[in-house]
């Protein structure tokens, strides 16, 4: 079953969204992060996805106090990332009560290191964030908050992690992120062929309940919902209902 997962992106302790990952194109929402997390819990969510945008660039999880308040409320399982560059960062988030640590840049740059983390902490505790953009006929893998291009491609790297026993993959089409132009279902079809054993969380561009239905029919395990919820395009309850209805037709 496909699970809608609400997302909170943090910058300077505030709830924000970026357009295509561009830090210069930021929308700040007038809601306190803990209050927003509470609203999502009230709507029936069991999970929350949190991104530290400051940490994604600096390499330090800078919004940890805000994250800790959300975790300490005890109402949601939290998967969090942004700024995890070493094992101390993994431990820091796990010690803060995070259920799953999302690793991005280091998963691209140091796959052997992340493979060791998978063996040490278990595949349930690590989410690979292999965010991508299609360029020159390949799915490229930018890093450092999508500000630096890396040589490895999605097709190069993902089979390595399948062999390493990774289970959870979060994959954002960067060109769709924050755009409200619809998800790239072709990307998720490609991932199903490339890594059928992995639970894929789709992210980027979701704008409507029909988009959730399309991704559910695609067979993804989760759909990350950010701007669409913040702008009131639909409610989280409606997202759960749509995923359940679409899943029943699979």
CA distance 19 to 5: 19
CA distance 154 to 157: 5
Does the annotation mark 131 as catalytic? yes
Residue-wise pLDDT tens digits, 208-222: 999 999 999 999 999
Catalytic residue (choose from 9, 52, 173, 211): 9
Q: pLDDT band at 97, cuts 50/70/90?
A: very high
Domain containing 65: what range?
Answer: 3-248
Domain total in the chain: 1
Does the annotation mark 155 as catalytic? no
Catalytic residue (choose from 52, 131, 173, 177): 131
Residue-wise pLDDT tens digits, 118-171: 999 999 999 999 989 998 899 999 876 666 677 889 999 999 999 999 999 999
Output the CA–CA distances (angstroms, integers) from residue 65 to 5, 72, 90, 154, 237, in the order listed: 22, 10, 16, 33, 28
pLDDT for residue 49 is more than 80 = yes
Q: Which CATH number is 160's domain given?
A: 3.20.20.70
């Amino acid at each position: 079953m496909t699970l809608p997962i609400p997302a909170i992106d943090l910058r300077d302790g505030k709830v924000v969204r970026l357009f295509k990952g561009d830090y210069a194109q930021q929308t700040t929402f007038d809601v306190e992060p803990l209050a927003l997390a509470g609203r999502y819990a009230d709507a029936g969510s069991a999970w929350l996805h949190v991104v530290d945008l400051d940490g994604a660039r600096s390499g330090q999880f800078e919004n940890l106090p805000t994250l800790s308040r959300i975790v300490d409320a005890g109402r949601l399982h939290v998967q969090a990332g942004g700024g995890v560059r070493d094992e101390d960062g993994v431990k820091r988030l796990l010690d803060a009560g995070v259920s799953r640590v999302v690793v991005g840049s280091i998963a691209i740059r140091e796959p052997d290191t992340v493979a060791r983390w998978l063996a040490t902490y278990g595949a349930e505790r690590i989410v690979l964030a292999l965010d991508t953009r299609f360029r020159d006929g390949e799915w490229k893998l930018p890093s450092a908050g999508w500000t630096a291009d890396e040589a490895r491609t999605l097709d190069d790297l993902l089979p390595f992690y399948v062999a390493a026993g990774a289970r959870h993959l979060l994959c954002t089409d960067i060109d769709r992120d924050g755009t409200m132009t619809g998800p790239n279902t072709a990307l998720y079809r490609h991932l199903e062929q490339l890594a059928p054993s992995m639970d894929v969380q789709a992210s980027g561009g979701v704008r409507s309940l029909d988009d959730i239905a399309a991704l559910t029919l695609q067979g993804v395990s989760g759909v990350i919902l950010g701007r669409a919820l913040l702008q009131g395009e639909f409610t989280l309850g409606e997202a759960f209902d749509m995923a359940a209805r679409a899943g029943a037709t699979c």
